[in-house]
Amino acid sequence: MTAEGAGRAGEAAQAPGAAPRIVWRCRDRAFDLTERALVMGVLNVTPDSFSDGGRHFAPDAALARGREIVAEGADLVDLGAESTRPGSAPVAAEEQWRRLEPVLGPLARDASAAISVDTSSAEVARRALEAGALIVNDVTAMRDAAMPEVVAGSGAGLVLMHMQGTPADMQRDPRYDDAAREVAAFLAARIEVARSAGIETERIALDPGIGFGKRIEHSLELVARIETLAALGRPVVIGASRKSFIGRLLDLDVDQRIEAGLATAAIAVFLGARVIRTHDVRATVRAVRMAGHLRAARA
Ligand code: HH2
């Protein structure tokens, strides 16, 4: 099932007093997120990702998992070739593309697979968009100065994510006075950068960056106070799946975090998240749908 909307953002007639429509435009597709949330399945073509490193490093294995992610009901496949786990080092654009190329093209040609590319390299994003990706998921919110132009000209959707520091140093001593407000202020400023480069607001989604320069209490707060970010009027993406704050809070190894990830995903959707990024697609699709029904019943 896809979430195709009727057309461009803001076109539909709106009943007085109705909740504002939230549409995410990504090239020729418009996801209507007013009443439902999307599931973004993670596909890491890496040897070293924190939870699935090496499992889908071979192109055949990655393609098979990509197709499985779609069959399990994900709306998007988030394809990445660089681990950004705490302490990781950057992967050169050429190497990222060497990993992505054999997977991205064939997956993008499968009509039902909408692909986002998880990269902070403008060069990788450019090639991925040429190969058919619909969305650029940039965990640095466009630190690469060439990124705004690459995204602007493509019509692609864009995820702007907050990170304090870099993957190499982000977990050393992250500090905030008010994490939810500071993250929202940062992302509001990045929306303006994107807009001034010609990226329309309707193409942008926002992610507080769970675990990216965050202590446990910051990650908890950013999920619990989603409304602070949602107030910017753009879809909020939450990626809590299997992350270490779950492991540390509940004393669970990385392969034992699924139930807690589902609880987090469901509550995030209930509180207003519109995209859930997850490794555990089948179960998350069900949890997110249920949470969506509960949220609708509240209105
Ligand atoms: N988390 C990771 C990577 N990309 N993108 C967004 N928008 N939000 C996230 O929370 C997010 C992300 C880290 O997870 P994973 O890709 O599984 O691990 P690794 O970076 O080790 O490959």
Q: What is the average per-residue pLDDT within 101-109?
A: 95
Helix (H, G, I), strand (E, B) or coil at 159: strand
Q: Within a domain: residue 107?
A: yes
Q: What is the pLDDT of residues 147-165, one digit of tens each?
A: 999 999 999 999 999 999 8
Q: Within a domain: residue 4?
A: no
| CA nearest to 49, candidates 23, 86, 22 | 86
20 pLDDT band, cuts 50/70/90, is: confident
Q: Within a domain: residue 207?
A: yes
Q: Does residue 277 have an active-site annotation?
A: yes
46 lines ligand 1 (CB under 6 A): yes
Q: Within a domain: residue 104?
A: yes
* Range in 86-90, 157-161, 262-266 with the lowest mean pLDDT: 86-90
Per the CB < 8 A criterion, the answer to whether 299 and 230 are in contact is no
pLDDT at 6: 35
Q: Could you give the CA distance from residue 245 to residue 215 in angstroms, rounded to a whole number?
A: 8
Q: List the structure tokens of 68.
A: 């499985």
136 pLDDT band, cuts 50/70/90, is: very high
Query: Which domain, by its residues, includes 192?
Result: 36-298
Q: Within a domain: residue 5?
A: no
Q: Which of 65, 190, 243, 295 is catalytic?
A: 243
Q: Crossing angle, helix 216-224 and helix 258-271, to 10 degrees?
A: 40
Helices (H) and strands (E) in the chain, counts: 10, 10
Q: Does residue 214 have an active-site annotation?
A: no
Strands 114-118, 157-161: pairing is: unpaired
Q: Could you give the CA distance from residue 149 to residue 147 in angstroms, rounded to a whole number?
A: 6
State what percent of residues in the chain have pLDDT above 70.
94
210 lines ligand 1 (CB under 6 A): yes
pLDDT at 12: 43
pLDDT at 15: 59
pLDDT at 14: 56
Per the CB < 8 A criterion, the answer to whether 140 and 207 are in contact is no
- The Å distance, Cα 10 to ligand 1 centre, comes to 31
Q: 16 or 173: which carries more pLDDT confidence?
A: 173
pLDDT at 207: 98
161 lines ligand 1 (CB under 6 A): yes
Q: Within a domain: residue 25?
A: no
Helix (H, G, I), strand (E, B) or coil at 79: strand
169 pLDDT band, cuts 50/70/90, is: confident
171 pLDDT band, cuts 50/70/90, is: confident
Q: What is the average per-residue pLDDT within 40-49?
A: 96
Strands 23-26, 29-32: pairing is: antiparallel
The percent helix, strand, coil of the chain (3-state, each to 5) is 40, 15, 45
- The Å distance, Cα 291 to ligand 1 centre, comes to 23
- The Å distance, Cα 227 to ligand 1 centre, comes to 22
Place of tokens 């809590």: 240
Q: What is the average per-residue pLDDT within 233-262?
A: 98
Q: What is the average per-residue pLDDT within 268-286?
A: 98
Instruction: Indicate the top mutation candidate among 69, 85, 140 to test ligand 1's pocket, ranked by most ligand atoms within 8 A of CB.
Output: 85
CATH number at residue 288: 3.20.20.20
pLDDT of residue 13 exceeding 70, the answer is no
142 lines ligand 1 (CB under 6 A): no
Q: List the structure tokens of 238.
A: 């939450």
Q: Angle CA(46)–CA(65)–CA(94) in degrees, nearest 5?
A: 30
* Range in 22-26, 48-52, 157-161 with the lowest mean pLDDT: 48-52
264 lines ligand 1 (CB under 6 A): no
10 pLDDT band, cuts 50/70/90, is: very low
Q: How many domains does the chain have?
A: 1
Q: Within a domain: residue 1?
A: no
76 lines ligand 1 (CB under 6 A): no
Q: Kindly tell me the sign of the dihedral angle through the C-alpha atoms of 205, 245, 88, 102.
A: negative
Per the CB < 8 A criterion, the answer to whether 63 and 103 are in contact is yes
On average, the pLDDT of the chain sits at 93
Q: Within a domain: residue 158?
A: yes
Query: From the CA atom positions of the chain, what is the Rg in Å?
Result: 18
* Letter string b/e over residues 87-111, b meaning 16 or more CB atoms within 10 A of that residue's CB: ebeebebeebbebbbebbebbbeee
pLDDT of residue 206 exceeding 60, the answer is yes
Q: Could you give the CA distance from residue 249 to residue 258 in angstroms, rounded to a whole number?
A: 14
124 pLDDT band, cuts 50/70/90, is: very high
Instruction: Indicate the top mutation candidate among 46, 49, 135, 219 to test ligand 1's pocket, ranked by most ligand atoms within 8 A of CB.
Output: 49
Per the CB < 8 A criterion, the answer to whether 133 and 116 are in contact is yes
Nearest CA to ligand 1 atom 10: 239
The dihedral formed by the CA atoms of 139, 135, 276 and 204, expressed in degrees to the nearest 10: 80
Residues 6+ apart with CB under 8 A from 57: 45, 46, 47, 99
